Amino acid sequence: MFCSQCGAENPDGAKFCSKCGAKLGVHANLSEEATNSEAESSTGLSANVAGLLCYVALWITGIVFIVLEKKSIFVKFHAWQSIMTFGVLTVIQIILSIIGAATFIFSPGWWFVHVLGIIVWVIIGILWIILIIQAGSGKMWKVPWAGDFAEKQISK
């Protein structure tokens, strides 16, 4: 499926363009107000501000907005994406830390695990900045695997 806004190719069944965040043809059943990033969320904030705040404390604020948000699909999307993206990366970081501590004592190759940990931290930082900017500017930019999960959760 191709986006009518930017022409990017998207997987069949996608609800938002993976390049520009525009609604795709499948979204005809969602109300314009629910997906509009300028609309007010049920938290009293504008949807793009609430979407931005979903990422501020990584997955923790995502959970807060999943609990609080009742009407804005835009905010729910960013909350679920925050939970999945940073939740999984946090678990990976914890696992690498545990392995790093164990290999530091028992293995001369401990530095490899620590380098992987640094790479994960860099990925977290870059994604955090990108996602805050995208949500704040009203775009439903998707992290490839987490965005797909978030789209499935908001369509339930």
Residue 63 confidence (pLDDT) above 60: yes
Give this prediction's pTM: 0.71
Residue 37 confidence (pLDDT) above 70: no
Give me the mean pLDDT over the 44-57 stretch.
90
Gyration radius of the chain's alpha carbons? 18
Scanning the structure block, which residue is given the tokens 């994406």? 81
Give me the mean pLDDT over the 4-14 stretch.
70
**What pLDDT, on the 0 to 100 scale, is given for residue 6?**
60
User: What are phi and psi for residue 16, nearest 5 degrees?
Assistant: -130, 150
Measured between alpha carbons, how far is 71 from 75 in angstroms, rounded to an integer?
A: 8
For CA atoms 73, 67, 151, 16, the dihedral sign is positive
Average pLDDT, the chain: 82
Residue 97 confidence (pLDDT) above 50: yes
- The secondary structure of the chain in percent helix, strand, coil, rounded to multiples of 5, reads 65, 5, 35
Higher pLDDT: 91 or 26? It is 91
Are the CB atoms for 67 and 41 separated by under 8 Å?
no
**What pLDDT, on the 0 to 100 scale, is given for residue 125?**
95
